Structure 1
Amino acid sequence: MSYPFVLNLIPTTYAANDDTPSSAPTILDPRKEKVLALHTTGMSRRKIIEATGETEHYVRQAIKGVRVVEKLPISPFERAVAQCYPIAIRRTGIKDYQLRAIMNECYGVEWDTEKGKYKARYTVDQLKRVRERIRERATAEGHSAIFVMDWINTIEPVESNAVITQCILNLQNAIQEALDEFMQASGVHHVEEGVDLALARKKQEFAARRYILNLAVKGFSKEPVARLQERALDQVNQLAGTPDAPGVSTPAIKLRHPEPKGSDAFLDYCEGQGWLQPDHYPEVEQAISAAGY
């Protein structure tokens, strides 16, 4: 009895033109595996080169076509960098008030009852670190991060700088003219024996300039202007020995500013000062009714 010849082929290999993929695992070069691991975490190319010691050409070839795994920023620092970066690399850059608004949003704020305004929880060092990280990322990605002072007109930067420079020169000349007028009228001409007259005039001129700036420029002095004037008048009266104009002594009064609740800031303020005591409520309600509210 004859049997037909049967050829059994065991599929242990694939033909060269077979499209069936191999199930054998792909083994990466340890060098490339390390580069890819750092790349997928979002590390910049420059940082990868520093961490691995590989050449820029090798790193470029290794990460070519490999997507970066996007990680959601968790810390306030990471969130601030992530939000500020796309604004900072624009042609017009990021304004200082925009940067600080994002920092306030990420780090939070707290109400200052003494000054009556919100105070940021981030520190100067944290703000500096955010700027530095944005610059590092921009350099690594071939961009330029621009942090712009609020007074600059980003549409006409050169023109706005020229105008403010002229304003500064005009202000400097005006202050110097006022200072020269003061020194000519009230400059020290006689000093006690052993005192250097030139040094005394130099110190007087410096102090006069500071005093002029403190009173003329709002916010220049940390001391309230009214208190500074009262202190100066007190010293003047003591030196003059004027009997009918004694030195003024005004105690420092610290006002408490309650945090606005979004309803009525004026009433919140009055209540915070203790002006609306329970004993006065009937009078207040009567006044409101009489006004037709």
Structure 2
Amino acid sequence: MSHPFVLNLIPTTHAANDDAPSRASALLDPREERVLALHKAGVSRRKIVEATGETEHYVRRVTKDVPVTEKLPTTPSERAVARCYPMAIGRTGIKDYQLRSVMSECYGVEWDAEKGRYKGRYTVDQLKRVKERIRERATAEGHSAIFVMDWINADAPLESSTRITQCASNLQDAIQEAVDEFMQASGIQHVEEGLDLTLARKKQEFAARRHILKLAVKGVSKEPVARLQERTMDQVNQLAGTPDAPGVTVAVTKLHHPEPKGDDAFLDYCEGQGWLHPDHYPEVESAISTAGY
């Protein structure tokens, strides 16, 4: 007697082309789910054993042939790329100060006693590599990474660019007017025999422009303005035949800012200057509180 053919489908039966994640999604127990979640996130087997308390043999068996789908960043560079990438491909891009802030958090900071602030431990080359990797990832995923200068208004980029260009043009005109005024009043009129007067005036005009900028714009020269003025007056007095005349003498002191090591940076600074002893902190804090500050 013949029997009809019956195909029984049971939960443990899978088609040959089922992928690993789908075959286990509904059948995994909580232990396996936890191990696989950590494995897919790129956590090492040893770390999984430490985090779950499972044996290495168990972890090895559960994760066998299961690919890692998302690798956790482990180096400062990888962490910086992972954190900056979403901002870089956003509508407004990532500002320079945002990028540098993340770099400092990922690479660490150190106290600059001369400038009185923290600075990142990353190098210019490391910053460039992070930006390059962000661009490469964006290109691979069909996006565009935008690194934005801090002065740009992301909501009105064209307007802000036009405005700052006009500001620069106005500044150039003002500088040229100042140089022209100087040359008209103090331009070289005579030179020694054998020298080119036109060349001498061009050199003087160039040097005058640089000197005006050094005096007027902080940061143009690495030399402190006070020292520049002192050096200038020494030369002027010698040329005027009065080398003993009093010039501009300004003491240039290299400041040292102690790193804050408490909750109140102001009191830390006072202590660093030798103005306040730590034993007096409670009394000072009480006085500040009583005064309503």
Q: TM-score, normalising length from structure 2?
A: 0.71
Separation of aligned partners in 2, 1:166 and 1:249:
39
Matched, 1:121 2:121: yes
The question of whether the paired residues in 2 share the 8 Å contact of 1:183 and 1:205 is answered with yes
Deviations 1:221-255 (A, max 9, x none): 22222222222222212221336623455554222
Deviations 1:252-292 (A, max 9, x none): 422211012343333322332344579xx89xx89x98xx8
Alpha-carbon spacing, 1:22–1:164, altered in 2? closer, same or farther (3 Å): closer
Structure 1: unaligned runs, 5 residues or longer: 10-14, 27-39, 43-65
Separation of aligned partners in 2, 1:181 and 1:218:
22
1:120 corresponds to which letter in structure 2? Answer: G
Matched, 1:89 2:103: no
Separation of aligned partners in 2, 1:214 and 1:16:
94
Separation of aligned partners in 2, 1:214 and 1:126:
31
Separation of aligned partners in 2, 1:19 and 1:277:
82
Q: Secondary structure at the match of 1:118?
A: strand
1:233 corresponds to which letter in structure 2? Answer: M
Comparing 134-143 and 248-257, the one that deviates more: 248-257
Separation of aligned partners in 1, 2:144 and 2:203:
46
Deviations 1:8-39 (A, max 9, x none): x9xxxxx896646479999xxxxxxxxxxxxx
Q: Secondary structure at the match of 2:259?
A: coil
Residue equivalent to 1:133: 133
Matched, 1:168 2:178: no
Q: Secondary structure at the match of 1:210?
A: helix
Separation of aligned partners in 2, 1:16 and 1:202:
103
Residue equivalent to 2:202: 202
Residue equivalent to 2:271: 271
The question of whether the paired residues in 2 share the 8 Å contact of 1:234 and 1:249 is answered with no
The question of whether the paired residues in 1 share the 8 Å contact of 2:234 and 2:243 is answered with no
The question of whether the paired residues in 1 share the 8 Å contact of 2:79 and 2:106 is answered with yes
> How far apart are residue 75 of structure 1 and its match?
0.5
The question of whether the paired residues in 2 share the 8 Å contact of 1:109 and 1:118 is answered with yes
2:111 corresponds to which letter in structure 1? Answer: W
> How far apart are residue 216 of structure 1 and its match?
1.5
Matched, 1:186 2:176: no
Residue equivalent to 2:238: 238
Alpha-carbon spacing, 1:68–1:139, altered in 2? closer, same or farther (3 Å): farther
Separation of aligned partners in 2, 1:88 and 1:16:
58
> How far apart are residue 161 of structure 1 and its match?
0.8
Deviations 1:46-67 (A, max 9, x none): xxxxxxxxxxxxxxxxxxxx98
Q: TM-score, normalising length from structure 1?
A: 0.71
Instruction: Give the root-mean-square deviation of aligned CA atoms.
Output: 3.6
The question of whether the paired residues in 2 share the 8 Å contact of 1:76 and 1:106 is answered with yes
Q: Secondary structure at the match of 2:99?
A: helix
The question of whether the paired residues in 2 share the 8 Å contact of 1:233 and 1:247 is answered with yes
The question of whether the paired residues in 1 share the 8 Å contact of 2:41 and 2:72 is answered with no
The question of whether the paired residues in 2 share the 8 Å contact of 1:112 and 1:118 is answered with yes
Alpha-carbon spacing, 1:80–1:248, altered in 2? closer, same or farther (3 Å): same
**Which aligned pairs between 1:281-292 and structure 2 lie closer than 5 A?**
none
The question of whether the paired residues in 2 share the 8 Å contact of 1:188 and 1:201 is answered with yes
Residue equivalent to 1:79: 79
> How far apart are residue 97 of structure 1 and its match?
0.5
Separation of aligned partners in 1, 2:275 and 2:241:
40
The count of residues paired between Structure 1 and Structure 2 equals: 241
Residue equivalent to 2:224: 224
Structure 2: unaligned runs, 5 residues or longer: 19-39, 43-65
Alpha-carbon spacing, 1:221–1:170, altered in 2? closer, same or farther (3 Å): same
1:94 corresponds to which letter in structure 2? Answer: I
Separation of aligned partners in 1, 2:70 and 2:118:
34
Q: Secondary structure at the match of 2:175?
A: helix
